[in-house]
Structure 1
Amino acid sequence: MKTIKNACMLIFCVCFLFISGGYRATFAVGIQQPVVPANPNPDQKSLLFAAKEADNVVIYRKDIIAHSAELKKGLKTDEEGFKTVKNTTIKNQEKPNLEVVHTYIKEGKKDEARNMLSEIFMNKQIPEKQNEIKELLDKLNEELIFSPSSSSDAILYTVQPGDVLAKIAKKFTTNYELIMRINGKPTTRLNIGERLKILTGKTKILVSKSDFTLTLLLNNHYVKQYRICIGKDDKTPVGIFEVKNKMKEPTWYSPQGGVFPYGHKENILGTRWIGFKDKPNLYGFGIHGTTLPESIGTAASNGCVRMVNSDVEELYDFVTQDTEIIIQ
């Protein structure tokens, strides 16, 4: 009997030591075990890392130690939760500085100044100074565009024997009226050896219905902006249009019926007509002058874009068959 008691006591002690030792090995809070590195690698970005010794992987998470088998599921979740986050901070864009523009002008870099101002103006980057910027652009373009002075948008052509303005204009895909305008020529007469400034590149027209403006661009740079009249009851269509035809002193074919030649009191087209190519359910639209200048800045037409006669005459000289017209 005594032998049985001693045997039971021995078994009880062995079990107690086994359970107690296993518990400490598995969930020792705040205790650093000597069999694994006590300090994590300082270069390790994650808060979780693994150390392997004798095929026994131990996971450290702050001051808690547990065998990997017991955190098998939790480890994946934690690792995903501690992934490195990419820096998505957007650098602040510098606000355009007009001082740079004035520096360009002082240095004689008027093309650079105009191009920079054009981008600022068209994108309304300094809305509170739109009028000031427009005035400066117009002043620069008086020389760069509307004078015989050289510019990056033009070439200087020397008149050759046998040249006529129409032939020169066709060669450079422009209008002879524009050559006359920017070179200050009152007639089409040419002199051999005469130097002519000829604008090159593509023109584009942007119509803003909300602002009642039409902006002319050359090579995507501002040339000039004009006030306009648009269609009443939102009749002016939006979209991209192509040039169909151009006419001086146009005849008006009224949508209500009737044909009225230029100069007739019923003809409201003014001195110029720039017609759009027809689209499905959109035909008969265009840009023209007006006999009603007081309507500029309002919505009063049957859908066409009206301009003051002097403005549409200037615009007419720039427009070619490949001019793109965008109404928005």
Structure 2
Amino acid sequence: MSVRKYVSTSLGGALLAGLVAGAPALAREVVPFSDGVMPGSVVISVSQRRLYLVNGDGTAIRYPVAVGKPGKQWFGTKSIDGKYVQPAWSPPSEVKRDNPRLPNLIAGGSPHNPMGAAAMTLSGGEYAIHGTNRPSSVGTWASYGCIRMYNQDVVDLYDRVSVGTPVYVTH
């Protein structure tokens, strides 16, 4: 192999490795978890910006999430009351007030739809756990109170939970 070909191949490999390293990896992971919460429950830690799906063996699946920005955070207990694949989205009045140019409805599957690949609505009607069209927001305080996930992670969670699953949102 010529030096030129080797350098070119090595630089190409290094560039590819750098691009992969900069891209979000498969974000979910199994971690120890012993919070006394019933297996199958969802626990969201706002301060950690992490969602935990509690397993029955002292572990949980941990996912990074975006949570409510300052002044938009909430805490308490809800349950999943609906599950939807690529749902259409109508901006809530507060979001529409802050972003008046938003359309009244964004079709499911549209690249402009902030719900992403799937959504699980929470009891009370105000919030959902959903995918996103802005993956760079995951891991930050970015929403109006909804919980945003990478699309591949929300699909994984969607397949693991049912309507009625308890959701605990903690500090």
Q: TM-score normalized by structure 1?
A: 0.37
State the Cα distance separating 1:222 from its structure 2 match.
2.0
* Partner residue in 1 for 2:47: 210
Instruction: Pick from 69, 83, 86 the counterpart of residue 246 of structure 1.
Output: 83
Cα distance change on mapping 1:287 and 1:220 into 2, 3 Å: farther
**What is the number of residues matched between the two proteins?**
131
- Distance (whole Å) between structure 1 residues aligned to residue 69 and residue 78 of structure 2: 20
Highest RCO, 1 vs 2 (Cα 8 Å, sep ≥ 6) = 2
* Partner residue in 2 for 1:285: 127
State the Cα distance separating 1:270 from its structure 2 match.
0.4
Instruction: Pick from 217, 220, 229 the counterpart of residue 66 of structure 2.
Output: 229
Query: Runs of 5+ in structure 1 lacking a partner?
Result: 1-113, 124-200
- Distance (whole Å) between structure 2 residues aligned to residue 327 and residue 305 of structure 1: 10
After superposition, the C-alpha distances for 1:27-79 in whole angstroms (9 at most, x for unaligned) are: xxxxxxxxxxxxxxxxxxxxxxxxxxxxxxxxxxxxxxxxxxxxxxxxxxxxx
> What's the RMSD between the two structures over aligned residues?
2.3
Structure number with greater Rg is 1
1:318 aligns with 2:155: no
- Distance (whole Å) between structure 1 residues aligned to residue 164 and residue 59 of structure 2: 18
- Distance (whole Å) between structure 1 residues aligned to residue 40 and residue 81 of structure 2: 15
1:267 aligns with 2:109: no
* Partner residue in 2 for 1:305: 147
After superposition, the C-alpha distances for 1:261-285 in whole angstroms (9 at most, x for unaligned) are: 112243111001000111xxxx320
Equivalent runs, 1:11-26 vs 2, <5 Å:
none
Q: Secondary structure at the match of 2:41?
A: strand
Cα distance change on mapping 1:234 and 1:213 into 2, 3 Å: farther
Cα distance change on mapping 1:218 and 1:252 into 2, 3 Å: same
Cα distance change on mapping 1:237 and 1:299 into 2, 3 Å: same
Contact in 1 for aligned 2:116/2:132 (Cα 8 Å)? yes
Equivalent runs, 1:54-73 vs 2, <5 Å:
none
- Distance (whole Å) between structure 2 residues aligned to residue 275 and residue 253 of structure 1: 14
Contact in 1 for aligned 2:81/2:164 (Cα 8 Å)? no
Contact in 1 for aligned 2:89/2:107 (Cα 8 Å)? yes
- Distance (whole Å) between structure 2 residues aligned to residue 261 and residue 235 of structure 1: 25
* Amino acid paired to 2:152: S
* Amino acid paired to 2:135: P
Query: Runs of 5+ in structure 2 lacking a partner?
Result: 1-29, 97-102
State the Cα distance separating 1:219 from its structure 2 match.
3.2
Contact in 2 for aligned 1:236/1:305 (Cα 8 Å)? no
State the Cα distance separating 1:220 from its structure 2 match.
7.0
State the Cα distance separating 1:302 from its structure 2 match.
1.4
After superposition, the C-alpha distances for 1:288-325 in whole angstroms (9 at most, x for unaligned) are: 00010000111111110000000010001111123110
- Which structure dedicates a bigger proportion of its chain to helix? 1
* Amino acid paired to 1:274: M
Q: TM-score normalized by structure 2?
A: 0.69
Equivalent runs, 1:1-328 vs 2, <5 Å:
117-119=32-34, 202-219=39-56, 221-255=58-92, 256=96, 258-278=104-124, 283-328=125-170
Which stretches of structure 1, 4 residues or longer, exceed 3 Å deviation after superposition? none
Q: Secondary structure at the match of 2:109?
A: coil
Contact in 2 for aligned 1:203/1:220 (Cα 8 Å)? no
Q: Secondary structure at the match of 1:312?
A: helix
Contact in 1 for aligned 2:130/2:154 (Cα 8 Å)? yes
- Distance (whole Å) between structure 2 residues aligned to residue 118 and residue 228 of structure 1: 18
